[in-house]
Structure 1
Amino acid sequence: MSYSAAIEGISKSRQADAEAYDAIFLKYYEMLCVNAYFYLKDAEEARELVQDFFVELFEKKRYADLEGDIKGYLYQSVKNRCLNRLRKMENDKKRLEQLKLEAMYAQRSGERAQTEGVYNRLHEAFGQLSMQRKEALTLVYVQDKRYQEAAEKMGISVNSLKTHLKLGLKKLRQTLTNYRKI
């Protein structure tokens, strides 16, 4: 056999392969898309899946090995791909939910740790205040006493109470501001 005859034979073989592939594609593409849509419930996803199937079928030349009624093979192949895609989507969804839960837990843990740190620092700063400033802050902000009531209970004037409150709050703010800078 001459070189040109061999090339002509390969060329005819390729042309016959392409024609066989085209015939299969044209005959079954739409029906396979409908079948894939039945499982995926998304027309674009169904078309993409069937197109990917036909690309693989062509690249691996599986169409050349098919004999007899290939309809069952095509439908089963597409069905399996759909089920695999649905399984993957479900697993991806579960992973995403798990990541969201983990992120939310980490955020809450971080917030809790930060809140505990602020609370501890505030408690420490409160402990460093003088007795009168602690009492003034407790009466007004914890026990919700009016200035007049708190001043009478402490045995001081309202202006002195306001001074103790002002200086006590200033010290607490200063301590928390310094804590945030750390």
Structure 2
Amino acid sequence: MEAKTDAQLLAGINSRNIIAFDALFHKYYKLLCGYAFLFLKDEENAKDIVQNLFIEIWEKRRFEYLEGNVKSYLYKSVHNRCLNYLRNNETKLRREVDYEEHIRETDYVADHELREQVYKRLETNLDRLPKQRREAISLVYLEDKKYQDVANAMGISINSLKTHLKIGLKNLRDKIKKRE
């Protein structure tokens, strides 16, 4: 088969000649893929863009009103599609980052609010304990003092301190579970 000019191929495509379309596709496909690759640095996406262009040309009859240089039209179309792809991809990445940031902030706020509620319930229920149990728990768990130091400060034995802690913690757990 003899090589046809772009104008002849265009005339054939306008008459819905699949052979003319196929010839145009084979003439420019590799060149256009290489051109798209320069923008995208991704061979598969470059091929997809060029293939989608040719599909659209055939299905939507993009050449019906084309006058002028077919090669320029194809290169300009690939150029624009690559820029659109890059812009859309950048927008998508930005949205994903924004979403992840939003989720982290939301989780932090929810965790912070939950923690505040637990601390308030703990504080309320701690205040309801008898004085020695409240003091024992505060010194050992909130102020991180050693058992011996707390026992000495309270004027009780270590075993008595352990008893106050055990009963006090059990009371706190029960009250917090009941959400009093």
Q: TM-score under structure 1 normalisation?
A: 0.83
What amino acid is the match of 1:48? Answer: D
1:38-57 alignment runs, 5 A limit: 38-57=38-57
What amino acid is the match of 2:87? Answer: R
* 1:126 aligned partner: 126
Q: Identity across aligned pairs (percent)?
A: 44
Task: Kindly tell me the number of residue pairs found equivalent between the two proteins.
Answer: 169
SS in 1 for 2:148: helix
- CA distance 1:66–1:164, shift in 2 (3 Å): same
* 1:60 aligned partner: 60
Deviation at 1:91, TM superposition (A): 0.6
Deviation at 1:149, TM superposition (A): 3.1
SS in 1 for 2:63: helix
Between stretches 86-95 and 152-161, larger displacement belongs to 152-161
* 1:164 aligned partner: 164
1:1-182 alignment runs, 5 A limit: 17-179=17-179
Deviation at 1:147, TM superposition (A): 3.0
Deviation at 1:22, TM superposition (A): 1.5
Between stretches 130-139 and 52-61, larger displacement belongs to 130-139
Partners of 2:68 and 2:79 in 1: CA distance: 20
Between stretches 15-24 and 47-56, larger displacement belongs to 15-24
SS in 1 for 2:166: helix
Q: TM-score under structure 2 normalisation?
A: 0.84
Partners of 1:18 and 1:91 in 2: CA distance: 37
Partners of 1:174 and 1:150 in 2: CA distance: 24
What amino acid is the match of 1:127? Answer: D
TM-superposition CA deviations, 1:5-49 (whole Å, max 9, x none): xxxxxxx99876222212211100110011111111110111111
Partners of 2:70 and 2:143 in 1: CA distance: 84
Partners of 1:139 and 1:30 in 2: CA distance: 77
Deviation at 1:65, TM superposition (A): 3.9
Structure 1 residue runs of 5 or longer lacking an equivalent are 1-11
- CA distance 1:129–1:103, shift in 2 (3 Å): same
